[in-house]
Structure 1
Amino acid sequence: MQGVGEILHIAKSGRIIVKLNQKVKPGDTLVDAKGKNIAKIIELIGPVKSPYASAMSMTDRSKKYVGTKVYMRGKR
């Protein structure tokens, strides 16, 4: 697994906002350190040099992941 960023907060819309430190693309699935699916990336936002991702939660406990690192399975 590759570390791709950190969950900053949950938007009013319910989407998870992630500060990215690796390249990802819409449709990629984010997982926690144990490999559990957390969210699917919907869109990339912000400046190219410091991007963020807006992701749709795949769990009903997304608030517990705020402030944690997220990963992506597979090769890039």
Structure 2
Amino acid sequence: MQEVGEIMHLASSGRVIIRLKRQLEEGNFVCDESGRRIAKVAELIGPVSNPYASAISLTNNIKKYVGTKVYFLDEPVIKQKNRKQRR
């Protein structure tokens, strides 16, 4: 897990603005310290030397993450349980 930045604020459009420390690509997911996906990067904005990312929130309670650090995972930590289908 690599730290990629910090969530700055929630824009009026509903997107999350993230100040980046490390370059990300559009479509990457960012997660919290426990590995839970919280946002998907929609676009990169700002200068190359000090980039920001505009991300789409994947959780309803995104306000609690404002001011916290976000991380990037190559593989998700949280795995889904193997569910059996009913007959």
TM-score (norm: length of structure 2): 0.84
Name which one, 1 or 2, has greater alpha-carbon Rg. Answer: 2
Q: Offset at 1:10?
A: 0.1
Structure 1 distance, partners of 2:23, 2:6, is 13
Q: Cα RMSD between the aligned structures?
A: 1.0
Amino acid in the other structure paired with 2:56:
M
- Deviating runs (4+, > 6 A) in structure 1? none
Structure ranking higher on relative contact order (CA contacts 8 Å, 6+ apart): 1
Structure 2 distance, partners of 1:21, 1:37, is 18
Q: Offset at 1:25?
A: 0.4
Amino acid in the other structure paired with 1:15:
R
Amino acid in the other structure paired with 2:25:
K
Paired-residue identity, %: 55
Listed as ranges, the gaps of 5+ residues in structure 1 are none
Q: Give runs of aligned pairs for residues 13-24 of structure 1, distance below 5 A.
A: 13-24=13-24
Amino acid in the other structure paired with 2:54:
S
**Alignment match, 1:58:** 58
Q: Offset at 1:74?
A: 1.6
Structure 1 distance, partners of 2:39, 2:23, is 16
Q: Offset at 1:8?
A: 0.1
Amino acid in the other structure paired with 1:12:
S
Structure holding more strand per residue: 1
Partner SS for 1:9: strand
Q: Give runs of aligned pairs for residues 1-76 of structure 1, distance below 5 A.
A: 1-74=1-74
